[in-house]
Amino acid sequence: PNKINLKDYQKPSFDVETVSLDIKLFEDHAQVDSILKMVRQSAGDIVLFGEDLELLALTMNGEALTAERYEQSAGKLTISDAPDEVTLAIQVRICPQTNTALEGFYMAGSGDDRMFVTQCEPEGFRKITFYPDRPDVLAIFTTRLEADKRYPTLLANGNLVEAGDMIDAPNRHYAIWHDPTNKPSYLFACVVADLDVLTDSYTTSEGREVLLEVYAKSADIDKCDVGMQALKDSMQWDEVNYGRAYDLDRYMIVAVSQFNMGAMENKGLNIFNTACVLSSPETTTDTRSFSVKAIIAHEYFHNWTGNRITCRDWFQLCLKEGFTVYRDQSFSADQQSSAVQRIDDVATLRAHQFAEDAGPLAHPVRPESFVEINNFYTTTVYEKGAEIVRMIANTLGADHFRKGTDEYFRRYDGQAVTVEDFLSALSITNSKVEDFIDWYRQPGTPVVSGHQDYDSATQTLTITLSQQTRHVSGFDAPKPLPIPVATALFDKESGKIMAERMLLLDQATQTFTFEGISAAPVVSLLRDFSAPVQLNYDYQDEDLAFLLKHETNGFNRWQVTQMLVNRILLPNQGTKSDPDVYLAALAQTLPVLASEDAMLAARLLDIPSAQELAAAILKDYDPELVKAQREGLYQQLAEALKDQWEVLYKQLPLQSYEDSAEARGTRALRNVVLDMALTANVEGAGEWAQQQYDNASCMTERFGALKAMVNHQVVNADEYLAEFYERFQADDLVIDLWFSVQASADNVNADVIKSLLEHVDFDWNTPNRVRSVISAFTSQPTALWTQEGLDIYTDVIKKLDDSNPMIASRLLQVLARWNTLAEPRRQMAHVQLLDVQQQVSSKHVHESLNSVLGT
């Protein structure tokens, strides 16, 4: 398959001014008629992309084009010698009913619940009709939908112009939508369904009255309020923080149960995975509900960062995703403690993006080549992309960052642009911003190491920092990047801050001097995780314990606990820490913090997951050993603080449900304490779990109890699992939880996974269900990296390779670290992957496999 390279980018020869689409849905197929008005921009052919289409008719300026007039091969239809102004009329037949890849126009659900939706990003529109399906071709779309009246809901982008019955076919009806904004085809969407709708309105700061609608199955419509509120909050937040108001009269969100990704920001018509929009206290955990709000915000924020200003080509994906993730993270930080938000974002970054950057799938935030762009919707593009924007924002400061983003919107509104354009707008107040381009080009996580020297005679502290990035093969030798290191000096006596500064490390090694420092301080670095790097500083355990106590930055209090844990569990990475210092520091901090900030207290007890620890091991990774060491430390922690669990648990009684940061904190801490108590064998803890389950006021409490019972194999855990299933049988998203709690259980093995895959409720065509078993399974590396575990896992990949290659490829990417395994597992995994290579055909999986195998 062909590699596409950034350096080969060329402007399209033709622009599309208007598109009119007429989509008629029938029982077993759909017919799509399109009329494209195109105008030449430069010399060259008309190139249209098309996949899985049956071409029925093609005319150019009213004249039928016979097969000699165009060339059709490898997903392209090329017309040479076209005049400068062209009207193309194209008729194709497609089959959404059998489209299991969930890309293009497809059927979701089955039986009476079935509905038809689109997913066009990045290249799904070419599965609907022939089109110059690339993000730098912007056009005005008019869409007519026609279908049986069993589907009363007919939606497309923009404003509803007309709707009515078909005179010659009494059981059919139609609707015509017009979108006045110029948009790329990846933002096209339509829906043909039978849905209920929750309605609201919002008046923008510009005085526009906007109709807000959330569409869902009637059984789910009572779970749409959280999303609706989040939408209104996001609209206001973007006005206040970025001066951006919504630009259409209508904003629609549609919930669909079969969806490859989380959600999609189609202009005025977002389509959401049900898991990312539905929320109710009884059925949705706090974590999930919080992420529903964040995803609603993310897709809404795309209206400006992605839709009004879009990407020139798919290499620039981070232009919209990195910036939009940064925006949704900032929004979320305003809804809860900003320290906890930062902890969550950094924990995700470290567990997934650092792992990606350390392995064979490492790629720059802006990749330079790809075979299948779907393989590049990665944590590197999204999360590391967001970190770069954050570094720039912090470097500029709030006012200058806002000046820069205002300039970006002013300059590029309505255009398809590049990362260079973005940096050029942001640099109007500070040219240093342009230096951040190297962060977009260079793969690998920089390691920052350092030490300090204090000279009491001159009262000077010198901090020496150096940076190093591994050389990823296929890329230039790494160069030093601009790394902002937020730093504070703490007085050892008083515990107070003596000095605070943002250091900019932009050379291989640099020294920074602080004058007038009256005594040797404790240095706190990388506050709020001011750069996405690994920090390797010459700390004493006591310094870290000191910072746990005195740091005013909540994120850094968490960071020092994580440093201590890493130094205990991964001593070959540097200094070995004494577990007693860690345990004593936590024992002292926890009781106070639990009543001040329960959510932060819960997070301080974090021990990185087995997967996250594995990401730091580059060679001879032994999953059994890591699991044993991790569990050993967890046990030690639970026992060392054993007297605290009962006190804490009793201090955190179940209360009626409330969706406040404080109530969420209480619930989170209670679940952590329950698990600790069960680990330490606190008397009666088994009953606490059962009572918490029985008396739960919400899913966070109920599921927390269930999970603890399953993981600790409490005597009647199985009865509770059965009760949970009965109680929530009708709710797919809760049944996903039921699958995942079993598939990720501490004692899971291949047989359990096999039986879950054979369960009557398992469904290969629903990505959420597949992930609830198979992705959950990857959280137990000791079970995954066995012959039986790998057999099951790779069978799933082979099975999905044809029906849904995007999901198959995602699942495969999780196996990327096979070559760090200790023998004999490494060899076993290698053989297995080579075997998969013989049995798959999608370009998605092949590209990932080639990277993973290093071939």
Which residues belong to the active site? 299
C-beta of 121 vs 345, nearer to ligand DPP: 121
- From ligand DPP, Zn ion, none, interface partner of 757 (C-beta below 5 to 8 A by class): none
Evaluate whether 702 touches 284 at the Cβ level (below 8 Å): no
Binding to ligand DPP, residues 34-93 (CB under 6 A): none
- From Zn ion, ligand DPP, none, interface partner of 577 (C-beta below 5 to 8 A by class): none
- From Zn ion, ligand DPP, none, interface partner of 313 (C-beta below 5 to 8 A by class): none
Evaluate whether 362 touches 397 at the Cβ level (below 8 Å): no
**Cβ contacts of 662 within 8 Å, gap of 6 or more:** 598
Tell me how far CA of residue 104 lies from CA of 72, 712, 802, in angstroms.
20, 44, 16
C-beta of 118 vs 324, nearer to Zn ion: 324
Tokens 């206040």 found at? 240
C-beta of 261 vs 583, nearer to ligand DPP: 261
The values of phi and psi at residue 634, to 5°, are -60, -45
* Binding-site member from 146, 179, 220, 265 for ligand DPP (CB under 6 A): 265
CB of residue 324 to Zn ion, shortest distance in Å: 5
CB of residue 355 to Zn ion, shortest distance in Å: 21
What is the contact mask toward ligand DPP in residues 814 to 853, using x (rule: CB under 6 A)? Answer: ----------------------------------------
From the list 259-267, 362-370, 425-433, 612-620, the region that binds ligand DPP by CB under 6 A is 259-267
Evaluate whether 82 touches 98 at the Cβ level (below 8 Å): no
Binding to ligand DPP, residues 726-785 (CB under 6 A): none
In angstroms, the CA 840 to CA 130 distance is 27
Instruction: Confirm or reject binding of residue 263 to ligand DPP (CB under 6 A).
Output: yes
In angstroms, the CA 561 to CA 558 distance is 5
Instruction: Confirm or reject binding of residue 372 to ligand DPP (CB under 6 A).
Output: no
Binding site for Zn ion (CB under 5 A): 321, 324
Instruction: Confirm or reject binding of residue 264 to ligand DPP (CB under 6 A).
Output: yes
Q: Calculate the CA 608 to chain-centre distance.
A: 19
C-beta of 141 vs 301, nearer to ligand DPP: 301
CB of residue 228 to Zn ion, shortest distance in Å: 20
The values of phi and psi at residue 117, to 5°, are -140, 170
Closest Cα partner for 90 from 117, 52, 142, 53? 53
DSSP structure string for 549-581:
HH-S-HHHHHHHHHHHHHHHH-GGGSPPPPHHH
From the list 258-266, 509-517, 546-554, 591-599, the region that binds ligand DPP by CB under 6 A is 258-266
The values of phi and psi at residue 418, to 5°, are -120, 170
CB of residue 295 to Zn ion, shortest distance in Å: 9
Instruction: Confirm or reject binding of residue 103 to ligand DPP (CB under 6 A).
Output: no
Instruction: Confirm or reject binding of residue 328 to ligand DPP (CB under 6 A).
Output: no
In angstroms, the CA 603 to CA 664 distance is 13
Handedness of CA 352, 338, 640, 652 (dihedral sign): negative
DSSP structure string for 391-453:
HHHHHH-HHHHHHHHHHHHHHHTT-EE-HHHHHHHHGGG-GGGGGGHHHHH--S--EEEEEEE
* Binding-site member from 321, 357, 543, 612 for ligand DPP (CB under 6 A): 321
CB of residue 66 to ligand DPP, shortest distance in Å: 38
- From Zn ion, ligand DPP, none, interface partner of 212 (C-beta below 5 to 8 A by class): none
C-beta of 329 vs 427, nearer to Zn ion: 329
From the list 197-205, 262-270, 671-679, 764-772, the region that binds ligand DPP by CB under 6 A is 262-270
Instruction: Confirm or reject binding of residue 298 to ligand DPP (CB under 6 A).
Output: yes
Q: For residue 29, which amino acid is it? A: H
Tokens 């055909």 found at? 841
C-beta of 324 vs 445, nearer to Zn ion: 324
From the list 141-149, 260-268, 283-291, 612-620, the region that binds ligand DPP by CB under 6 A is 260-268
Instruction: Confirm or reject binding of residue 261 to ligand DPP (CB under 6 A).
Output: yes
C-beta of 320 vs 400, nearer to Zn ion: 320
> Computed over its alpha carbons, how large is the radius of gyration of the chain?
28
Instruction: Confirm or reject binding of residue 213 to ligand DPP (CB under 6 A).
Output: no
* Binding-site member from 103, 121, 551, 847 for ligand DPP (CB under 6 A): 121
- From Zn ion, ligand DPP, none, interface partner of 345 (C-beta below 5 to 8 A by class): none
C-beta of 323 vs 793, nearer to ligand DPP: 323
- From Zn ion, ligand DPP, none, interface partner of 261 (C-beta below 5 to 8 A by class): ligand DPP
Which two tokens mark 679? 């680990």
Give the number of other Cβ atoms within 10 Å of residue 449's Cβ: 16
Which two tokens mark 143? 């869409």
How many residues contact ligand DPP, by CB under 6 A?
8
Closest Cα partner for 612 from 664, 573, 668? 573
Instruction: Confirm or reject binding of residue 299 to ligand DPP (CB under 6 A).
Output: yes
Evaluate whether 194 touches 206 at the Cβ level (below 8 Å): no
From the list 163-171, 256-264, 397-405, 693-701, the region that binds ligand DPP by CB under 6 A is 256-264
In angstroms, the CA 474 to CA 282 distance is 50
C-beta of 321 vs 847, nearer to ligand DPP: 321
- List b or e across 240-268, with b for residues whose CB sees 16 or more CB atoms inside 10 angstroms: ebbebbbbbebbbbbbbbbbbbbbbbbbb
C-beta of 324 vs 589, nearer to Zn ion: 324
List residues near ligand DPP by CB under 6 A: 121, 261, 263-265, 298-299, 321
